[in-house]
Structures are given as C-alpha cells and as structure tokens.
Chain A
Amino acid sequence: MKLLIFAGPPSAGKTAVIRRIIRELNGEYSLAFLKIDVVRAFEDEELAAEFGIPARKVYSGDVCPDHTGILVLRDAISWADDLGAKILIVESAGLCLRCTPYTTQALGVAVLSAVGGTNSPLKMAPMIALADLAVVTKVDLISQAEKEVFRERVREVAPAADIIETNAVHGTGLRFLMKAIREVPDITDPDGIVLRGMPPLAVCTICAGKKEIGWQHHFGIVKTLDSADDLYRGE
C-alpha cells in the first residue's frame, strides 16, 4: 500500500486536488481516505458519497491536529490495509504552517494556493521544505509574473521539491502528480515509519484547555518573557 500525506493551509485546495486524484486513480487502485481536523470536517462524507471509497475522519479537539494525525497514523495504516486498500490518502487540517506532517515511506505533498501572495511560500517554509511535491493551485487567477515569482519562492524553500502548477477545478497540469503517485513505492515496514522532520508539536496545557495566563500555571514546553530558550516544566 502507498501512503500519501497532504498538508497545506485552509482553502488552498487540498480536497480539490485529492478529488482529482481519486477520480483519476479509482479503479486502477483501491483507495482509502483519512481526514484529520479540529472540530468539523465533511471531506470524508463527501468523498465516500461521490466515489464510494472507504473514508473516515478524526477530530483532534483540544489537541494539535498534526499531533493527532501522527498519533493515529499507525492505526490508520492498519485500517486501510485490512480493507485491502492500495493507496491511503491522509489530509491534514492545515492549520499550523509550522508543521511538517510528512513521514518516511510516503509521498509528502504540500498544497499551496497561488492567491496567497508571492511571499507565502517563505512564510510556510517548514511545511514545504520537507515535502516531495508542492502543488500550486488557482494559478489561473494570478498574473504570469506572480506565477513565475511564486515558483521561485517555493524553489528557495525547497530546492529539490517537484513543483506542479494547477487549476484543480479543471484538473490542468496534474499529469505529473499522477505520475509521481504511480511511482511511489509501497510501504515496506509500517512499524518503521517515522516523521521526516522535527515539527514543533508540543502538546501543552494551553492546547489541552487550561486557560490561566502566565507560564507559572502551565506544564510541558513553556517560555518566559526574559528567556529566549524553551523551558520544560514537569508536573
């Protein structure tokens, strides 16, 4: 089974790109889909209804969604495997642009919207840097000049990443993405899958709903005004 991990900011067009992939590859492969989100998500129901593929979601609630994604990923691989899926597509919530949810033995895809402005790849650098592929959506909406500069900015952050420009509504330009997916090797050792990078995934007491202000009230990774370094406070 192949593992595809999609990350990208909200409304970048992650689901539109995934829908294109399912339309193209459904039948050639049996597919399964997992959406990770915070409080509400509809992608699983929509994709299951539209394509009849097994799809489910996980709500992270008060915990960081990318952290949740990593915690449940091993279970998700077993779930998809038991269903006989040949491709598991995982879509992140896309909230924290500091996260790199990509793992080994997977294809990591960052989906970015061209309308985010030419500096947005620099701002989302960590999310792009460890991806195999950057899919740039909505390119029909911006000028040629911005298109070219956007590509240079992605290049700056991820010199080796493959960049694919698309208008995912029409599906233009996605042939190179499909080719990359067909060439992704299967997972060989699911228990050996690790994160590619070190994302800042601290689950702190604020994430978990403790509302008091001031580091004195919190545990885990904390910061003080005067110290530039992170401190760890155990319970």
Chain B
Amino acid sequence: MEPSAVSTITVLPGRAKNGSRESFSEITIRPGDTVSIVGPTGSGKTAFINDIEVFACGDTVTGRRILVNGEVPPDEMVRDPAKKPIALITQNTKCLADLTVREFLDMHVKARRIPDELRPERTIQLANEFTGEKIAGEMRMTALSGGQTRSLLIADAISVSSAPIILLDEVESGGIFKENVIASLKNNQKAVLFVTHDPLLALLSDRRIVMRNGAVETILEPDGREGRILSRISGMDGFLSRMREKIRAGELLDGEVRPE
C-alpha cells in the first residue's frame, strides 16, 4: 500500500494507568483533520502519539490498537520509514549531519528516489511560509534557529516525505506562523495531530483530545463555539509576534500597549 492510499487511521481504546478501559469506542482520523492532544504532564499525551507512530497492536503499555483504512496495516508500512505514512517531529528531532539546507533536502529527495529536481527548492519556499526568519538553501542545517528548523522539518514532511499523517510532539511553536502551518497542512490534505500547551494551536484544531491518567478522558469538538476566544487569542498571538520582532530588531517598545 502506498502512503498516499491512506484514507483513515483508527485508534481503538486501551487502558488507563489504573487498568480501567478507555471510554471512547474509536477515534477516526482522516486527511485534512487537525487534532490537538492536551492534558497535564504524565497524562499520556506522548504515549497516545507514540501508539499511532508505531501502529500499536495491543503491544504497548496502553494496549491500544491502530488500524489503517479499517485494517491492521501491513508489516512493510510499519517498518520501513520510507513506506510509513506517518512523520513524527518531536522537540528533539534535529538534523545532526553538518549539511546545508539544500544538501539535506537533496539527500532526502534522493533517498526517496523522487524524480523532481525542483522539489528541494519548493520545500524551502514552503518552509519560508511558516517562518519569518528567511531560510536559504546555502545555510547550514546546524546553524538554523529553532523556528527555522521546525518550519523546515514540517515542510520536508509535507513535500518530500509526502506523509499523509503528521505528528507533532510538543514542538515548541515559537518562531513559526502557527496559522499558516495549520492552513497549509489542511490545504495539502494532511492529517495532523499535535501534543500542545499552546492555546492558539489547541483552538486551531477541529478536535481536542483531553488526556488524564494515561487515558483519553474526553474528545471535545468545539464546532465554532470557541470562535470568539479564538479570534482574540489569534490577535494576542499576533501582537506577541510583532513585539518579539521589534525586540529582536532592537526597538524600544514605548508605543503600542493594546493587543488588538
């Protein structure tokens, strides 16, 4: 099965830390879905993401099972990173090799045997939609800022890996245009699940999975009811970004006082 042939990912319930069964019957994720995972530290957010990443089959600590298109996925899809329909980016994920951005993308495009010379350049363009700090092909990967690295890895997952499902585990959202990232993921028909403590990211998702004691406690579908607070938080986030840029540029912030 090609990664692009994935139309649904289904999570079947497992157990909480105290052994009790999770109350949901199944969670289905489709291309274009945005799902955030929230909850206190130790509540099982990363375990939930990891279950999806490894296509758990009752063999992880949670006992959950993951189906692809309603079936147990083939071994090859689970094991070969190039055939896996999932890209996981954590806060630890880095390019360790001392390569330029261009060489890094060329290496990935070559490993995937993608016959498209323009792909690395298009990936850089996409990454630049996610960050205000411009990324150029001749920059060294190890010299990129946190925001540039995350933007590039997300762009790489979208345009080189072509992974239909993207998992972001507490990827610190500083330095990236969150709304652009979410919009781009939706436009590209990617399903994205993110563990986050960021109010804006949490509110930008269609569904919010709330974790407690290792189990899914509730699944919130705000369905527009959070619209007013979302626009306010979006304004505040934009304000903070502008202030950050001004501080970086060495300005004295004696003018603006109101977030909106």
- On A, residues with C-beta under 8 Å from B are 115, 117-118, 140-149, 151-152, 163-165, 170-173, 175-176
Select which of A142, A152, A173, A176 is within 8 A of B95 by beta carbon: A142
Chain A residues with CB under 8 A of B50: 170, 172
Select which of B75, B156, B163 is within 8 A of A145 by beta carbon: B156
Of the listed stretches B20-28, B52-60, B63-71, chain A binds: B52-60
Select which of A141, A145, A149, A173 is within 8 A of B92 by beta carbon: A141
A-B contact list, 19 entries, CB within 8 Å = A118-B97, A141-B92, A141-B93, A142-B96, A143-B153, A144-B156, A144-B157, A145-B95, A145-B107, A145-B111, A145-B156, A146-B107, A148-B111, A163-B79, A165-B79, A171-B60, A172-B53, A172-B60, A175-B57
How many residues of chain B have a CB within 8 Å of chain A?
34
* B235 adjacent to chain A (CB < 8 Å): no
Chain B residues with CB under 8 A of A165: 79, 81
Of the listed stretches B82-90, B125-133, B238-246, chain A binds: B82-90
Centre residue among A144, A151, A152 by max chain B CB count within 10 A: A144
Chain A residues with CB under 8 A of B46: 170
* B94 adjacent to chain A (CB < 8 Å): yes
Chain A residues with CB under 8 A of B193: none
Contact A142/B93 with A172-B53, A175-B57, A175-B59 known, Cβ cut-off 8 Å = yes
* B160 adjacent to chain A (CB < 8 Å): yes
* B177 adjacent to chain A (CB < 8 Å): no
Chain A residues with CB under 8 A of B97: 117-118, 146
Contact A146/B87 with A151-B81, A172-B50, A172-B53 known, Cβ cut-off 8 Å = no
Distance from A152 Cβ to chain B, minimum over Cβ atoms (Å): 6
Chain B residues with CB under 8 A of A117: 96-97
Chain B residues with CB under 8 A of A145: 95, 104-105, 107-108, 111, 156, 160
Cα distance, A60 to B50, chains bound together (Å):
40
Chain A residues with CB under 8 A of B196: none
**B53 lies within 8 A of A141 (CB):** no
Centre residue among A145, A171, A176 by max chain B CB count within 10 A: A145
Chain B residues with CB under 8 A of A152: 111
* B112 adjacent to chain A (CB < 8 Å): yes
Cα distance, A171 to B61, chains bound together (Å):
9
Q: Which of B84-142 contact A (CB under 8 A)?
A: 87-88, 90, 92-97, 104-105, 107-108, 111-112
